[in-house]
């Protein structure tokens, strides 16, 4: 999950620093995470700001919004209403500690991309993976660079498709919300459990479908690749040239 300093949050949200501070004081915005004297905000705060801005444009007053958020915090763990952020983004957790140093030159193209994509951090001049699962796989690999290139290829190939999938998911949630509670209606606390359950069902359905489709597509490409590989051997008659290292 991305984190933002106050000025960065103001830039990406379009809400001024002054208004963000005012929202915090009035109880509209959750407190930031403190690291020393630095206040760090995350995607939940960004979503809260987007929700507040939309409600204000629809004619709700800041007092009304603050009262509603307060009642939600007291009634359920969903302080972030309308966007249903916790149901969509999953449980809120502290940022993971970097877990594994890679044998990758931080000044190389691969090293720069890992950091730029948020997959790794630079710690003491070393490239350190931020995800424990990915770090475990890479640590077992005989050739870190080969695996890193595959990882980067996966990320770059998935970016556009994932944006389309995420947009379809959010559009479906928007339609669901409007059908269930209406466009300008703020749901009561007792209605939130059902809405959260439906959102989680939508997400589970999407994950299952995408996993199955990815598996099917992978099988098709593997069969095609094996066929091309075998055909190349038969046509050339040179096994050594095609034999994997």
The pLDDT of residue 200 is 80
More confident residue, 31 or 225: 31
Pairing of strands 38-42, 33-35: antiparallel
The pLDDT of residue 234 is 62
At residue 102, does pLDDT exceed 80? no
CB-based contact 177:195 (threshold 8 Å): yes
CB-based contact 115:121 (threshold 8 Å): yes
Average pLDDT of every residue of the chain: 75
Q: How confident is the model at residue 188 (pLDDT cuts 50, 70, 90)?
A: low
Four-way CATH pick for 1-95: 3.40.50.720, 1.10.1660.10, 3.90.1570.30, 3.40.50.300 = 1.10.1660.10
The pLDDT of residue 41 is 93
At residue 87, does pLDDT exceed 80? no
Domain range summary for the chain, segments of one domain joined by +: 1-95, 100-153
What's the rounded mean pLDDT across residues 53-58?
79
The pLDDT of residue 120 is 84
At residue 6, does pLDDT exceed 80? yes
Contacts of 25-33 with C-beta under 8 Å, sequence gap 24+, read: 26/62, 26/66, 27/66, 27/69, 27/70, 28/52, 28/62, 28/65, 28/66, 28/69, 30/79, 30/80, 32/6, 33/3, 33/94
Chain centroid to Cα 129, Å, comes to 17
Tokens, residue 84: 């249903």
Q: Which helix (H) or strand (E) holds 127?
A: strand 126-129
The pLDDT of residue 229 is 66
Q: Is the full-model pTM beyond 0.75?
A: no
The pLDDT of residue 98 is 46
The pLDDT of residue 12 is 92
DSSP string, 186-216: PPPHHHHHHHHHHHHHHHHHHHHHHHHHHHH
CB-based contact 65:27 (threshold 8 Å): no
What's the sign of the alpha-carbon dihedral 106, 109, 111, 113?
positive
Helix and strand numbers, DSSP H then E, in the chain? 10, 6
Q: Could you read off the pLDDT of 109-163 as tens digits, one per residue?
A: 988 888 888 888 888 888 888 777 788 888 777 787 888 888 888 888 887 677 7
3 state SS of 42? strand
Q: How confident is the model at residue 7 (pLDDT cuts 50, 70, 90)?
A: very high
The pLDDT of residue 20 is 93
208 vs 216: CA distance, rounded Å:
12
201 vs 29: CA distance, rounded Å:
27
Chain centroid to Cα 152, Å, comes to 17
């Amino acid at each position: 999950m991305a984190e933002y300093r106050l000025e960065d949050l103001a830039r990406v949200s379009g809400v001024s620093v002054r208004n963000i501070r005012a929202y915090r004081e009035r109880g509209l915005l959750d407190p930031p995470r403190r690291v020393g004297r630095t206040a760090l905000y995350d995607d939940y705060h960004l979503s809260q700001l987007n929700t507040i801005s939309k409600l204000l444009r629809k004619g709700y007053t800041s007092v009304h919004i603050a009262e509603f958020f307060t009642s939600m915090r007291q009634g359920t763990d969903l302080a972030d209403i309308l966007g249903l952020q916790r149901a969509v983004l999953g449980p809120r957790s502290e940022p993971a500690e970097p877990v594994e140093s890679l044998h990758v030159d931080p000044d190389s193209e691969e090293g720069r991309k890992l950091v730029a994509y948020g997959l790794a951090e630079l710690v003491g001049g070393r490239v350190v993976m931020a995800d424990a699962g990915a770090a475990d796989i890479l640590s077992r690999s005989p050739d870190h660079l080969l695996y890193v290139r595959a990882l980067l290829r996966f990320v770059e190939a998935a970016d556009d498709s994932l944006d389309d999938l995420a947009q379809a998911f959010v559009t479906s949630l928007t339609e669901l919300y409007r059908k269930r509670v209406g466009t300008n209606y703020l749901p009561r606390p007792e209605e939130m459990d059902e809405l959260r359950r439906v959102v989680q069902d939508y997400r589970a359905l999407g994950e299952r479908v995408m996993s199955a489709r990815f598996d099917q597509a992978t099988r098709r490409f593997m069969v095609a690749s094996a066929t091309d590989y075998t055909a190349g051997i038969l046509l050339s008659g040179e096994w050594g040239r095609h034999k994997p290292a």
